[in-house]
Structure 1
Amino acid sequence: MKLPSIPPRKRLSALLGPIPLTRTQALGASERLAAVTSLVSSLEHLANRRHTRPGGLNHWAIAREAYAARSRPLRKALDITAHPWTTRALHGGRIAASAALLLPGNSRLRGAANLFLGVSGAMLYPTHRYGTDGSDQASGLVQTATGLARLSSSPQVQDALLWYVAAQSTLSYAVSGWVKLLGSDWRDGSALGGVMRTRTYGERHAWQLTQRYPKQARALAHGVLALECLFPLVYVKGGTLTRPLLASAASFHVANGFVMGLGRFVTSFTAMHPAVAYTAASRSHPAVAGRDDRLLTVTGALAAGGAATAAALAVARRLRAADPRAGAGTVTTRHGNELVFDGVVRPDATGPVLVYVHGLAATPGHFGWYVRAAREENGHDWLLYSRAGYGPSRRTTRRAYTLRESADDLADLVASAVPPGRRVVLVGHSLGGEIARRAAGQLGDRLQAVVYLDSSHPAELNRSHQQGQTADHVGSALQAFTVSLRAGLGALLSRPDWLDNLPAAWRRRTMAEYADARLWRAALREWRSAEVEFRGHEGALRPVDAHALVVSAQHTVDRDPEQLLMHGEIADAHRAPGRVVRTTVIEGADHDGLLTDPRLAGEALRHLKDFLAETDRTDRTDATDRADRTGTADHATTAPGEAGSR
């Protein structure tokens, strides 16, 4: 029996076109898929209660530290929610509500069940932060929206809420795709193999397949990238591409669930697809007749207003970041760069001048506590400057950047801004410590000491497994920040916690510089050069003829013991007769906390003060010994008669 042939156009039309869902069908499909997610989630949490016990991933005694800075009422509410009996009761209620939503019906009581799931999920999230991976948040978003839609009798409100869910789904794919484009591993197609190799999300057999069939693996990675970046095309020509795009997205989540163990991703993210299907269909389609699309106009107007506000904020921050502080000076270096510096250099003082060198993607404001201590104690003179491209400092050279350029700029700053005869102490944090070490050789007798605050080491990417593994992520993160801020998204940049730990006088300006795309562009430029130079480093460090204080953060060396060995090598490069070399580890300190945490900064300052006092005594003793030896030599070479005639 011969089967009837189907014309190619008809076969193509079966693969293309909208998915006709009514408003009620879209709500029902979304809430049921989300209910499966919450049902499985609560069953998993009750079955894996060991994770909330001492030693578990979500033990509340440890997890609550993330909310230590929040208000007392909120902390109390979270403590109540995290109590084992409360947690079990909430999960029991979620299981009952989820099971009820899987039953047929369109009652408004379903709205109450959805809202309960959305609210209870938000309450439980702080106590179950590890293990959700975004699936519970996605299902909670759907449940909150569908719950409000069920409780409303207005079709316009229901349509607005469905548009909200659809917009969230579209943005989640598009933003994820365009951000992936910033990573070289996604652009060259190697990302899939990298993900399959990780311990958290990897799968050995899948990784082996990517190695056996690299071309197919690259094609699949590029396919995922294209799907996410082009997902907004679902709204082109009345939803012509709705079927292939939603089918591809659903297949993508099924694959994630099977290979990566993210089972709840399948139902949580596909729960938003019915809203996409409903809103993507042309309004002329009978299934969506009467659909209210005014939310698009409102959203567009709000987006335009938000973009204008973000642009104005970006301009204001740029002006503030590029405006030198009152009384600041400027130095033009041998490379033509213009460095802006601030500080206190008294004409009648004779002691060393402390020159602070900030780290990668950091600001001079990070040294706020150090500067404040110098001002209050009337201690050593100091200079604070922004490297070329940071804050008000400008990079004008057209040459390819290397770390040598920053070292040269630092040496030129000292030569121009520090009076002749005055010695300097370079205080560098992170990459600033490595730049200070490289500049030390150009300063000669003007250099008294170098202070390394959790400094970088040129061999760290080769010798430290952790540093080497995270190097690519550092570059990708800097690239993402640069592109995002240049696109005007600085208004969405959250205020970092460390900023509020700085002295109040430094916070506003530091935030302006931190949110300025120029800082991140300069940091990306520095990182790319540092990565190349660090990867190619061989041999021992060159000796530095100066005193040295090497301060390590406990979290840094505990997490990576090799870092402590490298810090020891930095100190060894300074060891010589007559040189003071000190090393110390600040307990409880992390990499940035050495500067931004007032207690930890105070501890580091105490070591710095003692170190400088010791170097002063050592230098004075050496100077006295040299004078005595010179005087003895003069006396020994003078004839008795000559001495008497004088």
Structure 2
Amino acid sequence: MKSLAKKLTSTFLGPVPVSRSRALAISERLTAVTSLTSSLEYITHQRQIRRGGLNDWTIARGMHASSTRPTRRLLDAVGNPRTTKALHVARIAASAALLAPGNARWRGAANVFLGLSNAALYPRHRYGTDGSDQVSSFVQTAAGLARLSSQPAVQDALLWYVALQANLSYLVSGWVKLLGEPWRDGSALNGIMRTRTYGHEGLWKLTNRYPVPARYLAHGVLALECLFPVAYLKGGMLARPVMASAAAFHVANGYFMGLGRFITAFEAMHPMVAYTSAPKSHPAVAGRDDRMLKATASMAAIGVTVAGFLAAMRRMRATDPWPHGRVLTTRHGNELHYNERVSEDDSSPVLVFGTGMISTMEHFGWITDKLVEESDYGIITYSRAGYGPSKRRSSSPFTLQESVDDLVDLVEGAVAKGRPVYLVGHSLGGEIGRRAAAELGDRIRGVIYLDSSHPDELTRSKQQQDSADRLKDGLNMLSGSLRAGLGATLVRPRWVHDLPAEVRSRAFAQYADSRLWRAGLREWDATEADFHRFSGDLPAISAHALVLSAQRTVDRDPEQLLMHNELGAAHRGEGRIVHNSVIEGADHDTMLTDARLGGDVGRRILEFLREVEGHDGDADSAAGGSRGSAKGTHGSKGNQSKEAR
């Protein structure tokens, strides 16, 4: 009985010892199959690279317009259909040659060629490529360099590189999945199988019929990826079951999801994992050089330290108030930080700007610049509780009404009684402003909606419904990643570069700080629950209104234009001015962040304000009242522009 148990244990548990040369031989042949399959597919699907095809280079090359001239010339050369075809023919020949037996040094050159040519062809086949091509590229390059080197230490370092990349790919994939609710509750498998791109009707029906086993299977995949490095514990005791499970996972992906190249591509990393996870005392790996592992651990420790330091510095920058900024404590105990530029003339209107969800008050930079340059209107920009330097102190569960109350308190506390107020809100900030206007009553002269949210959008808009399903997972992933210190790996997004120069660093510091995303996640949960409870019509608001819609928003979803028209209709009444218009060429964000479009928004706001002020001034004159002209501000316009953000 003991001998049987020992035999079973040795069969299913323990390391998978392979020698250095055998690990290289198996890996290069598996990646050769991947490259051969890939190039044969591209050769037989020429229509995809012809004019009008999925990868028409005359269109795809536009994505590299910002690259250097030598890079563009190289890409254009590769993008030429004849060059593309010639490269694939050469890749087919090299791949077929690598399938033959032998250990000659020319195999290293063939591997390097396959790896580099795959990288060069990636922009050419941008749409339709998948992770298998990227995996093959780095495995082939590493295997080729190992073949070309005569130093065992260099070869071991390259094998360790592939093995560590394998562990990282599974580990990151698993922990990212863990942030998504569908994987945690086990419903992800059913959701994937019902999609058109990667789904499988038969397996989808099985997951519907047997939900409990489907849940266990989803959790098993999650555990496999999150715990893949356990293959290295106790001399590789768990290497066999871990690699066998991973192999079964890739075969299933290939069959059910149509990702056939994934099988050979990802399995090509496993021989390196087997070689590096075996105990060094095993004869098959005798003399293995493990300095690469120690060097990587040291670099990782340094990286974690640097990332922690950068995160702390970024948090300080993100929460640092603007010079001359002010603080107001609301009824909920929240501390709102705001900047103001207010004329000394009591009759001059004040515009209070409210941001969208996961947005910063620096987003209004171009608009406030326009207002400062061409008017003396007062401007207040503020960060909602939890954003930027503002702090949420309330211990009650968060609701949208809390943000509405905060805005009401800000207007009451920061704007002198009797001064006309306009609420300007982008996205969710528009909906918060609409509700605050209803509570503030006569204190609000007008509401300006910038591609605003509508409380019925999650019910009426198919696009909003679809994006809502993905938004929560995205927020969880980014919030968790930033809390783990990965903010140091973020690259400044395009919209940050498009903002006025003096606010870019502050905007990016907030974007790369987990605090912004936690606040956004809190707001999204409250917004989703609130919007799903909405029914009926929007209540009437006794104030003028300007509703500006982004063209790309309403082009993608005409229902949004109808809802934006309803926002304006809620303000209609005798003596009130209501305008609805579309900002051509703008999307939801660029209407703020693009200099030209933001300036256009600012111009339209000015035209609206002057029309309203003229209209109300005439009404006051007719009633025997008078309204002074707004004049005089503190400081220069350059300083005012900064304070207004």
Q: Normalized against structure 2, the TM-score is what? A: 0.94
Structure 1, residues 211-264: CA drift from partner, whole Å, max 9, x if none? 111111111111111111111100011111111111111111111111111111
Alignment match of 2:20 (pick from 8, 20, 23): 23
1:129 equivalent to 2:142? Answer no
The answer for the alignment partner of 2:637 in structure 1 is none
One of 416, 427, 441 as aligned partner of 1:444: 441
Where 2:492 maps in the other structure, the secondary structure is coil
Distance in 2, matches of 1:606 and 1:37, equals 56
1:389 aligns with 2:389: no
How big is the shift at 1:627? 3.8
SS of alignment partner, residue 127 of structure 1 = coil
Structure-to-structure mapping, 1:53-72, within 5 angstroms:
53-72=50-69
In 1, Cα distance between equivalents of 2:175 and 2:244: 20
Question: What residue number does 1:299 align with?
Answer: 296
Whether the 8 Å contact between 1:374 and 1:381 is mirrored in structure 2 is no
Q: Which of 222, 233, 236 is matched with 1:236 structurally?
A: 233
Which residue of 1 is the match for residue 92 of structure 2? 95
Which residue identity does 2:270 align to in structure 1? H
Aligned with 1:335: secondary structure?
coil
Give 1:159 shift: 0.7
Distance 1:439 1:54, change over 3 A: farther
**Pair 1:421-2:418 in alignment:** yes
1:609 Cα deviation from its structure 2 partner: 2.0
Matched AA of 1:579: R
Structure 2 vs 1, CA of residues 234 and 465 (structure 1 numbering), >3 Å: closer, same or farther? Answer: same
Tell me the equivalent position of 2:640.
Answer: none
Shift of 1:345: 0.7
Matched, 1:335 2:332: yes
Once the 2 structures are TM-superposed, how far is the Cα of residue 303 of structure 1 from its aligned partner? 0.8
* CA deviation after TM superposition for structure 1 residue 26, in Å: 0.7
Find the residue that maps to 2:122 and give its secondary structure.
helix
- What is the alpha-carbon distance in structure 2 between the residues aligned to residue 378 and residue 150 of structure 1? 70
| Aligned match of 1:643 | none
CA pair 620-107 structure 1, distance change in 2 beyond 3 A: same
The equivalent residue for 2:177 is: 180
Where does 1:172-251 land on structure 2 (aligned, <5 Å)?
Answer: 172-251=169-248
Does the Cα contact within 8 Å between 1:327 and 1:342 map onto a contact in 2? Answer: yes
5 Å-filtered alignment, 1:35-50, equals 35-50=32-47
The within-5 A match list for 1:77-476 is 77-348=74-345, 350-476=347-473
Q: Displacement of 1:24 after TM fit?
A: 0.7
> How big is the shift at 1:349?
5.7
Question: Within 1, Cα distance between the matches of 2:16 and 2:404?
Answer: 62
Alpha-carbon distance, 1:379 to partner: 4.0
Kept after mapping to 2: 8 A contact 1:578/1:622:
no
- Contact 1:314-1:491 within 8 A present in 2 as well: yes
Aligned to 1:519, the other structure's residue is in SS state helix
1:5 CA drift (Å)? 12
Q: TM-score, normalised by structure 1?
A: 0.94
Report the secondary structure of 2:579's partner residue: strand
**Preserved CA contact (<8 Å) 1:425 1:449:** yes
Distance of 2:239 and 2:486 partners within structure 1? 29
Distance 1:54 1:350 in 2: 62
% identity of equivalent residues: 60
Q: Aligned-residue CA RMSD in angstroms?
A: 1.6
- Name the CA distance, whole Å, in 2 between partners of 1:259 and 1:588: 41
Q: How far apart, CA to CA, are the structure 1 residues paired with 2:173 and 2:61?
A: 30
Q: Within 1, Cα distance between the matches of 2:556 and 2:72?
A: 29
Bigger shift: 159-168 or 127-136?
A: 127-136
Give distance in 2, aligned partners of 1:546 and 1:458. 19
Sort the Cα spacing of 1:345 and 1:252 in 2 relative to 1 into closer, same or farther, 3 A: same
Cα distance in 1, alignment partners of residues 281 and 298 from structure 2: 25
Q: 494, 499, 512: which is aligned to 2:496?
A: 499
**Aligned-residue offset at 1:375:** 2.8
What number of residue pairs does the alignment pair up?
Answer: 625
SS in 1 for 2:124: helix
Deviation at 1:378, TM superposition (A): 4.0
Which stretches in structure 1 are left out of the alignment for 5+ residues?
A: 629-646
Cα gap change, 1:461 to 1:300, in 2 (>3 Å):
same
Residue 510 (1) aligns with residue 507 (2): yes
* Gap runs ≥5 in structure 2: 626-645
Deviates more, 1:311-320 or 1:554-563: 554-563
Q: Deviations over 1:455-486 (max 9, x none)?
A: 11111111111211221321111111111111
Inter-partner Cα distance in structure 1 for 2:435 and 2:62: 40
* C-alpha displacement of 1:413: 1.0
Distance in 2, Cα, partners of 1:516 & 1:380: 33
Instruction: Write the letter of the residue equivalent to 1:357.
Output: G
Contact 2:57 2:79 in 1 (8 A): yes
**Deviation at 1:519?**
0.8
Q: Distance in 2 between matches of 1:448 and 1:552?
A: 21
Secondary structure, in 3 states, of the residue corresponding to 2:253? helix
Report the secondary structure of 2:75's partner residue: helix
Paired position in structure 2 for 1:636 = none
Residue 9 of structure 1: aligned partner? 6
Change over 3 Å in CA distance of 1:582–1:72 after alignment to 2: farther
Higher relative contact order (CA closer than 8 Å, sequence separation 6+): 2
Mapped contact 2:349–2:421 kept (Cα < 8 A): yes
User: Counterparts of 1:605 and 1:349 in 2: how far apart (Å)?
Assistant: 23
CA contact (8 A) 2:346 2:418 kept: no
Deviation per residue, 1:151-182 (Å, 9 max, x gap): 11111111111111111111111111111111
Q: Secondary structure at the match of 2:458?
A: helix
Moved more, 228-237 or 602-611: 602-611
- Tell me the residue number matched to 1:541: 538
Matched position secondary structure for 2:359: coil
User: 2: CA distance between counterparts of 1:296 and 1:619?
Assistant: 74
- Give distance in 1, aligned partners of 2:576 and 2:189: 52
Larger mean Cα displacement after TM superposition, 601-610 or 194-203: 601-610
Stretch of structure 1 that moved more, 615-624 or 176-185? 615-624
Q: What is the CA–CA distance in structure 2 between the aligned matches of 1:5 and 1:361, rounded to whole Å?
A: 62
Distance 1:123 1:193, change over 3 A: same
Asked if the contact 2:356–2:428 (Cα under 8 Å) also holds between the matched residues in 1, the reply is: yes
CA, structure 1 residues 34+371, in 2 after alignment: closer, same or farther (shift >3 Å)?
same
Q: Report whether the alignment pairs 1:601 with 2:619.
A: no
Distance 2:62 2:439 in 1: 46
| Equivalent residue, structure 2, for 1:568 | 565
Q: Displacement, 1:621? A: 2.6
Distance 1:189 1:31, change over 3 A: same
User: Could you say which residue in structure 2 is the equivalent of 1:592?
Assistant: 589
Offset at residue 6 of structure 1 (A): 7.3
